[in-house]
Amino acid sequence: MSTGNPDFDLFRISEDHEALRDAVRAVAEDKIAPYAAAVDEEARYPQEAHDALVASDFFAPHIAEEYGGVGADALATCIVIEEVARVDASASLIPAVNKLGTMPLILAANEDVKKRYLTPLAEGRTTFSYGLSEREAGSDTAAMKTRARRDGDDWVVNGQKSWITNAGVSDYYTVLAVTDPDGKRGSNVTAFVLEKSDEGFTFGEKERKLGIKGSPTRELHFDNVRIPGDRVVGEVGDGLKIALRTLDHTRVTIGAQAVGIAQGALDFAVSYVKERKQFGKAVAEFQGVQFMLADMAMAVEAARQMVYVAAAKSERGDADLPFFGAAAKCYASDVAMQVTTDAVQLLGGAGYVRDFPVERMMRDAKITQIYEGTNQIQRMVMGRQLLARK
């Protein structure tokens, strides 16, 4: 029964959402979890997860039905990412980055661009990546050096992007480039779609990372890459505004990923301490262990509620989404780091070796505090939102 009060209804999960969770969990445990350790050990793309997500329509669930997708709402998309991350954070980046790469198109592209690029993604024929970050610009995205100059009806792109998730796997990339070097900072950047097959578009070597080793991270290099003018996303000069609006929505999905990682670590720790015996009884019977588990579970549930509320605001496009998206991502990622560390502690020496998944989960959790804006940047976003309120 609805309360009739939308603020209270934010906290209700529909039967459809719960059914979705069950369906994703079944796929994740059957088709993704068995390969997670090998994917990490071999630092290879999780093709088994990719294929399973395509087959189950969980590959890019956010794409609208009019472009061939299933039209999952923001909360449903978060549930997909959360449940996949519960068993393999690398695999959860497939639906997460598909949303990140396409969100600029969904927010600002014309219908021709949407149909041309969203349809093959919805059909599972490609993945979609996002090119905003640069090694020197870092969090100061407006300081990017990548340039796109107009040449007749075309644009010619030069420069590089760093830390690009699923680079080399994806066929399509939303790339931000300065189009007016002498223009006003923040209003001189434009978004484009680049294709892997574009001449002059190459990739750097795979980064050697602490975690999410199954998701390839590489640089993008543009050497006089000529693209037609119909690859512009939105209006010329609006790229940075589109990028920031994109992050308002997709930070929520990183919060969902963090919740999934934390939940997976908590689940494993609970099962382990119930079986492990010390001093003649199960470790779970010790009050100190129970207190640790209680704190871990409490933090995970708080993070989940923050993410789900932010997802509801993302779906509606609420004016306060920038605060809630930043808060959900920041809090959930801090929780993921703490909970996975505690899970390693609860397993003792067993937690520190690769025979068990919690050490991988701890390594995977760290990136959630860094990408799509460090948690220091999230706090800046929240602070500015608070100070702007009247």
- pLDDT tens digit sequence for 247-275: 999 999 999 999 999 999 999 999 999 99
Alpha-carbon gap, residue 390 to 98, rounded angstroms: 36
Q: Residue 136 domain-assigned? A: yes
Amino acid at 330: C
139, pLDDT greater than 80? no
6, pLDDT greater than 70? no
Kindly report which listed range (12-21, 50-59, 62-71) carries the lowest average pLDDT score: 12-21
72, pLDDT greater than 80? yes
Q: Residue 259 domain-assigned? A: yes
Q: Domain check: are 244 and 295 in the same one?
A: yes
Residues 6+ apart with CB under 8 A from 349: none
Name the domain boundary from 112, 127, 142.
127
**Residue 352 burial (CB < 10 Å; 0-12/13-18/19+)?**
middle
> CA 363, 368, 370, 371 torsion: positive or negative?
positive
The CATH number linked to 51 is 1.10.540.10
Q: Domain check: are 302 and 284 in the same one?
A: yes
Q: Residue 59 domain-assigned? A: yes
Q: Residue 1 domain-assigned? A: no
Q: Residue 133 domain-assigned? A: yes
276, pLDDT greater than 60? yes
Q: Residue 287 domain-assigned? A: yes
Element holding 220 (H helix, E strand): strand 217-228
Q: Residue 264 domain-assigned? A: yes
Q: Residue 3's pLDDT is what?
A: 40
Q: Domain check: are 76 and 65 in the same one?
A: yes
How many H-runs (helices) and E-runs (strands) does the chain carry?
12, 10
Alpha-carbon gap, residue 160 to 147, rounded angstroms: 9
pTM of the model: 0.95
Largest CA distance in the chain: 80
By percentage, how much of the chain surpasses pLDDT 70? 97
Q: Domain check: are 245 and 232 in the same one?
A: no
Name the domain boundary from 237, 258, 285.
237
Q: What is the mean pLDDT of the chain?
A: 95
Q: Domain check: are 24 and 122 in the same one?
A: yes
Alpha-carbon gap, residue 347 to 364, rounded angstroms: 18
The per-residue DSSP string of 332-343 comes to: HHHHHHHHHHHH
Q: Residue 343 domain-assigned? A: yes
Interval 368-373 mean pLDDT: 96
Q: Domain check: are 149 and 51 in the same one?
A: no
Alpha-carbon gap, residue 268 to 272, rounded angstroms: 6
Task: Give the CA distances from residue 19 to residues 9, 160, 199, in Å, rounded to whole numbers and listed in that order.
Answer: 18, 43, 45
Q: Residue 8's pLDDT is what?
A: 46
Q: Residue 206's pLDDT is what?
A: 97
Interval 196-208 mean pLDDT: 98
Task: Give the CA distances from residue 265 to residues 52, 208, 270, in Å, rounded to whole numbers and listed in that order.
Answer: 23, 24, 9
Give CB contacts under 8 A, 24+ apart, made by 208-212: 208/43, 209/367, 210/363, 210/366, 210/367, 211/89, 211/360, 211/363, 211/364, 211/365, 211/366, 211/367, 212/89, 212/90, 212/93, 212/364, 212/367
Q: Residue 127's pLDDT is what?
A: 96
Q: Domain check: are 325 and 366 in the same one?
A: yes
Q: Domain check: are 12 and 113 in the same one?
A: yes
* Of 360, 294, 388, 372, nearest in space to 332 by CA: 372
The CATH number linked to 150 is 2.40.110.10
pLDDT band for position 186 (50/70/90)? Answer: confident
Q: Residue 341's pLDDT is what?
A: 98
120, pLDDT greater than 60? yes
Q: Domain check: are 259 and 187 in the same one?
A: no
187, pLDDT greater than 60? yes
b or e along 131-157 (b: 16 or more beta carbons within 10 Å of the residue's beta carbon)?
bbbbeebeeebeebebbbeeeeeebbb
Q: Residue 328's pLDDT is what?
A: 98
**Residue 197 burial (CB < 10 Å; 0-12/13-18/19+)?**
exposed
2, pLDDT greater than 70? no
Q: Domain check: are 347 and 280 in the same one?
A: yes
- CB–CB of 53/90 below 8 Å? no
Element holding 64 (H helix, E strand): none
Alpha-carbon gap, residue 333 to 328, rounded angstroms: 8
133, pLDDT greater than 90? yes
Task: Say whether 206 sits in a helix, a strand or coil.
Answer: coil
Alpha-carbon gap, residue 339 to 294, rounded angstroms: 11
Domain containing 172: what range?
A: 129-237
Q: Domain check: are 112 and 99 in the same one?
A: yes
Name the domain boundary from 204, 237, 270.
237
Q: Domain check: are 121 and 156 in the same one?
A: no
pLDDT tens figures, 301-335? 999 999 999 999 999 999 999 999 999 999 999 99
pLDDT tens figures, 24-60? 999 999 999 999 999 999 999 999 999 999 999 999 9
Amino acid at 32: I
Alpha-carbon gap, residue 239 to 377, rounded angstroms: 20
Q: Residue 11's pLDDT is what?
A: 58
Task: Say whether 282 sits in a helix, a strand or coil.
Answer: strand
pLDDT tens figures, 146-174? 999 999 999 999 999 999 999 999 999 99
Q: Residue 298's pLDDT is what?
A: 98
Q: Which residues are catalytic?
A: 372
| Number of folded domains that form the chain | 3
Q: Residue 4's pLDDT is what?
A: 43
Interval 125-139 mean pLDDT: 92
Interval 324-352 mean pLDDT: 98
